[in-house]
Chains A and B, each alone.
Chain A
Amino acid sequence: MDVIQAENLCKVYGAGSTQVEALKDVSFSVQQGEFVAVVGASGSGKSTLLHLLGGLDRPSSGKVRIDGEDLYGLKEKERAVFRRRKIGFIFQSYNLIPVLSVEENIQLPLLLDHRQPDKAYIADLIRTLGLDQRRAHLPSELSGGQQQRVAIGRALAYRPAIVLADEPTGNLDSANGREVIELLKLAVRQFHQTVIVISHDMNVAAEADRILRMQDGRLIEDSRGGVRA
């Protein structure tokens, strides 16, 4: 079953002589449960693609379907609700709320949707993430690896169908980076999620079931079965 379908996605920034084509006619689909890595040099359109898949931006033309729903056919308000319930985001710079504790940051998506967090589940999640001793700490009191684990917890709190990660290991050393990727892989299996990770680290890409390679805004390669050097 296709969870994500990108159809002829194009994105143009600016106009006239300063016009930049960030994405040129990108089409692909992702199956439920796949762990997909998007690789490519910086400026190849990876982040733009991820933002369009997550409903954070608007394509110049083309469609994104998630679970069969045309993401940009929804009204702005509906899209916000859709995003909150269906998609978890993980960013390179973690994007945690600095004034909220670890536990509060993780529960945030649930609180935003006005749901009662399932306390036992959240407690289990925090323990799995190795943050048991840090649950009352603020993000500024944590290391980079710990902060990214909080971000993973936040992306998993709602058990969204899709997790989109933009360079999740970009600010981490290789040991912490590997841990982040392995946590994501476990989550995919445990919660039947679909993960798309952007990375230019080939070790990360090698862990994926499938690699999409981008160059100059085009999708130039789509390969399955990663091989790690």
Chain B
Amino acid sequence: MERIAYATEEMARLWRNPSVRRLATLLFAVCAAAVLLVWGYIGYTSDRLRQDWLAQQAAILGRLAAESPEEAPRLARLLAHPERLSPEELAQGRELAAQYGLTEELEASLTPIVGKNRLRNGLLLSGGVLVVFGILALLLLREYRRELTTVRKLALSLENAVKHNVPMKFRLYGEGEIGLLANQAQELAIRLQQTIGQLRRDKLFLKDTVAEISHQLKTPLSSLAVYTDLLLEGAVEPATAREFLETCRRQLDRMEWLIQSLLKIARLEADALPLQLRPAPLGETIEQALDAIRRLAEERGVRIVLDESAAEPVSVPHDPRWLAEAIANLLKNAVEHSPAGSGSPVRIRLERTPVFLRLHVEDSGPGIDPKHLPHVFKKFFRASRSGSGVGLGLPLAKTIAERHGGMLTASLPEGGGTRFSLTLPLHPLPSPGSDETYESVSPDKGEL
């Protein structure tokens, strides 16, 4: 059963190829032409045979009429109505004919009509067969060449694309195997171009980032140098010296935070640190994040409120350590942008949809200026000076969210404040390039 199904499938697959269709049409046309030719030939030769036979009979009649006129009409009647002859008459006739040597052993070449016919038959048939096969061979070669030309064009175009990084000039959008091959080759060329473009962009981005990092490090470094020089000179009051040292300490903290954040982002972006995505209770991860931020919140007198939606136990595939880092960064940002000492809390809210789990962190601060909204996730971007950060917390959180197959967005809810929404898929989208997908593909038949 299965083999038959497979065979029909194979036939159908073959039939989708334009070249196979052309070939089939060609063969059909040649066959039809050959059949027509055979019929035409048979019509022609039997007509010739009939004429020759009639001529011979007429000649015999003529001779008979001259030698014995009374016998001729009888013979003519017999010739005109052969159906009236009986089998006994046939046997008698054969006996008589045998006496004159007209037996079945008689050589064809000695029988005048047949002999002529045989030569003509031989010449016509061999000529015809040669012509038909010649034409067929020519047409087949043409078809073959056509297919090979397509492959050759494809190969040249692909070579060009690979060598000179240009889009493929030769394109083919067709059914069948060659069409699929051409399609994959085009995809490959496009992918190559995209990758090269991405590499160029990455290089530029890296250049900018390095410039930005050195700028960010140079400022605290130079102030550290100034303060230590002053302290070394010793001409500073003890109270002022303490103040200087505290400033140095703050700058050092800032640099440490900066360097650590940058390292984390770099590790994540460079894929040097694969996340361990596995279903885990989100509540515990939120607790981890809260622990990290609790002291800062107390210092600033900001309450963090877990909405009752966050109390329900939910599980989502994530890497608890990294996601806690992301949530902590969101909380830190929210706490820093909340009015200090006010009663207005930072809220954590969970929302579950059939596809996503969303974690909202909402503050009741003044809200981000709408014109800054598209930029809040850019590295080193700071909408205001109120935060202690260097503009890396939110980019880091966003990178972490994306590595989870999710996203991080900022919005301005109607009631004021700012809302950051961390959206995680309950089942991450299959990633096209990962080993995981590769493995799951290979057990298949590997067909296109």
Instruction: Name A's B-contacting residues (CB within 8 A).
Output: 1, 32, 67-69, 74, 77-79, 81-82, 85, 114-116, 118-121, 124-125, 127-130, 145-146, 149, 159, 161, 175, 179, 182-183, 185-187, 189-192, 207, 225-229
Contact = CB atoms under 8 A, between A and B. Distances in A.
A128 B427 contact: yes
B407 to A, nearest CB: 6
Given A124-B429, A128-B428, A182-B407, 20 more contacts: A67-B167, A85-B173, A115-B448, A116-B444, A116-B447, A121-B430, A121-B440, A124-B430, A128-B355, A128-B426, A128-B427, A128-B430, A146-B354, A161-B190, A179-B353, A179-B356, A185-B407, A190-B432, A191-B432, A227-B370
B73 interface: no
B423 A228 contact: no
B80 interface: no
Contacts of B423: 182
Interface in B169-184: 171, 173-175, 179, 183
B406 A179 contact: no
A125 B355 CA distance: 11
A69 B171 contact: yes
A179 B432 contact: no
Nearest to A117: B444
Contacts of A114: 12-13, 16, 175
Contacts of A1: 193-194, 197
A207 B375 CA distance: 14
A226 B440 CA distance: 38
B425 A128 contact: yes
A44 B199 CA distance: 39
A85 B183 contact: yes
22 contacts: A32-B194, A77-B174, A79-B173, A85-B173, A115-B448, A116-B444, A118-B441, A118-B444, A128-B355, A130-B353, A130-B355, A130-B427, A145-B354, A182-B423, A185-B407, A186-B405, A190-B405, A190-B432, A225-B374, A225-B375, A227-B374, A229-B412
Contacts of B179: 81
Interface of B: 12-13, 16, 167, 171, 173-175, 179, 183, 186, 190, 193-194, 197, 353-356, 370-371, 373-375, 402, 405-407, 409, 411-412, 423, 425-432, 437, 440-441, 444-445, 447-448
A74 B174 CA distance: 11
Contacts of B444: 116, 118-120
A205 B183 CA distance: 33
A114 B447 CA distance: 11
Q: Which 10 A-B pairs have the closest CB atoms?
A: A120-B440, A225-B374, A124-B430, A130-B354, A78-B173, A127-B427, A130-B355, A81-B173, A82-B173, A116-B447
A166 to B, nearest CB: 21
Nearest to A209: B374
Given A116-B445, A128-B430, A228-B373, A121 B437 contact: yes
Contacts of B431: 190
Contact of A124 (B174, B375, B427): B427
B174 A78 contact: yes
B374 A159 contact: no
B168 to A, nearest CB: 9
A7 B257 CA distance: 50
Given A1-B193, A85-B183, A228 B445 contact: no
A207 B440 CA distance: 33
Contacts of A82: 173
A115 B425 CA distance: 28
Contacts of A183: 355
A130 B371 CA distance: 35
